[in-house]
């Protein structure tokens, strides 16, 4: 597929995916080389799309909250590190599935999960950003969305009952987005490793926990890497 055909094909496949994820995964052949190539292309496109959403979102937040003084919200690292976390999660899921006697190969896992995440990550990012902005406007605060499912409130807000009821609504939507994420991951791993949903769920949960445990180390390594290669990476961002 040439570079100009990617957005059109991506749009068509993403609509099909969201209409019925189960049927989409059922029809997908993870072993095929073309599918692997397509997953990589879609992942690249999704990376650009979600980075664009995040950059627009950060532009709309006051500089004093996300500027140089707020060292913890480094815009460039933000965009870079979550993709590293996604790849690490795919590797962890594969390792967990193999430990539970799964039969899939790393290539099929990468093909399947990268395809699924290339649809999910931009969609969840956009939904959370739009919702976050609406909620933030009411609460007089700012919600920074870090793909795929990270949300940060940047300012304290009046924790009145009405505000908490509103934020609870946001969290409920967030919960279902996260659940959808998990179900798609479980569905993909179930297909590639051919074992029960129960085992797949165990493998996915342990990968999530493992990612949570190594996240600080991952962030540290990404930041060190980013500091060294910043001028080169900025060209691509």
Partner 1 sequence: MTVPRRIVTGALAVLLPYAASFGILWVRTRSIAPPRATLSTKEVDILDWAQDILTRNLDTAEKEMTRTSSAVTNLGRDVKDLSEPWYGNAGDEILSSAQLTLNNQRRLVDVQKMVIGELKLCDQTIKGLRQPISRRILMDTIREIDEWAPKIQETIDETGRGIVKTKLGLRIDPKTLPEPLGYEWNRLMLANMEQEATLTDLKSLHSDATKAAEPLKRLVERTPIIYQTLRFPF
Instruction: Tell the smallest beta-carbon distance from residue 104 to partner 1 (Å).
Output: 26
Nearer to partner 1, 168 or 232 (CB): 168
Which residue, 132, 123, 125, is CA-closest to 61? 132
Instruction: Tell the smallest beta-carbon distance from residue 150 to partner 1 (Å).
Output: 7
List all residues 6 or more positions away from 154 whose beta carbon is below 8 Å from its beta carbon. 61, 65, 66, 73, 141, 142, 143, 144
For 133, phi then psi, to 5°, come to: -65, -40
Nearer to partner 1, 30 or 142 (CB): 142
Instruction: Tell the smallest beta-carbon distance from residue 13 to partner 1 (Å).
Output: 27
Nearer to partner 1, 8 or 150 (CB): 150
Nearer to partner 1, 40 or 183 (CB): 183
Nearer to partner 1, 16 or 206 (CB): 206
Tokens 């290539």 belong to which residue?
Answer: 107
* Interface contacts to partner 1, rule CB under 8 A: 64-65, 69-70, 72-73, 141, 149-157, 159, 164-165, 167-169, 171-172, 174-176, 178, 212, 215
Residue 97 near residue 200, CB atoms below 8 Å? yes
Which residue, 167, 173, 87, is CA-closest to 126? 173
Instruction: Tell the smallest beta-carbon distance from residue 38 to partner 1 (Å).
Output: 30
Which residue, 56, 59, 65, 69, is CA-closest to 155? 65
Instruction: Tell the smallest beta-carbon distance from residue 70 to partner 1 (Å).
Output: 6
Q: Give me the half-sphere count of Cα atoms (radius 13 Å) on the Cβ side of residue 176.
A: 6
């Amino acid at each position: 597929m040439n570079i100009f055909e990617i957005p059109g094909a991506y749009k068509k496949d993403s609509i099909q995916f969201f209409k019925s994820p189960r049927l989409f995964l059922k029809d997908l052949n993870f072993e095929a080389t073309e599918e692997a190539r397509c997953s990589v292309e879609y992942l690249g496109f999704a990376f650009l799309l979600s980075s664009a959403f995040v950059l627009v979102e950060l532009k709309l937040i006051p500089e004093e909250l996300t500027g140089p003084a707020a060292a913890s919200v480094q815009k460039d690292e933000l965009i870079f590190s979550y993709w590293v976390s996604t790849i690490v999660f795919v590797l962890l899921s594969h390792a967990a599935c193999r430990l539970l006697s799964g039969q899939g190969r790393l290539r099929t896992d990468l093909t399947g999960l990268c395809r699924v995440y290339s649809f999910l990550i931009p969609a969840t990012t956009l939904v959370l950003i739009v919702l976050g902005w609406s909620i933030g406007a009411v609460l007089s605060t700012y919600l920074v969305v870090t793909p795929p499912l990270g949300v940060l409130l940047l300012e304290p807000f009046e924790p009145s009952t009405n505000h908490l009821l509103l934020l609870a609504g946001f969290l409920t939507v967030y919960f279902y987005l996260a659940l959808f994420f998990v179900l798609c991951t479980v569905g993909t791993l179930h297909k590639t490793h051919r074992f029960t949903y129960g085992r797949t769920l165990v493998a996915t949960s342990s990968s999530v926990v493992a990612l949570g445990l190594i996240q600080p180390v991952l962030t540290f390594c990404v930041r060190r890497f980013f500091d060294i290669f910043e001028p080169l990476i900025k060209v691509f961002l």
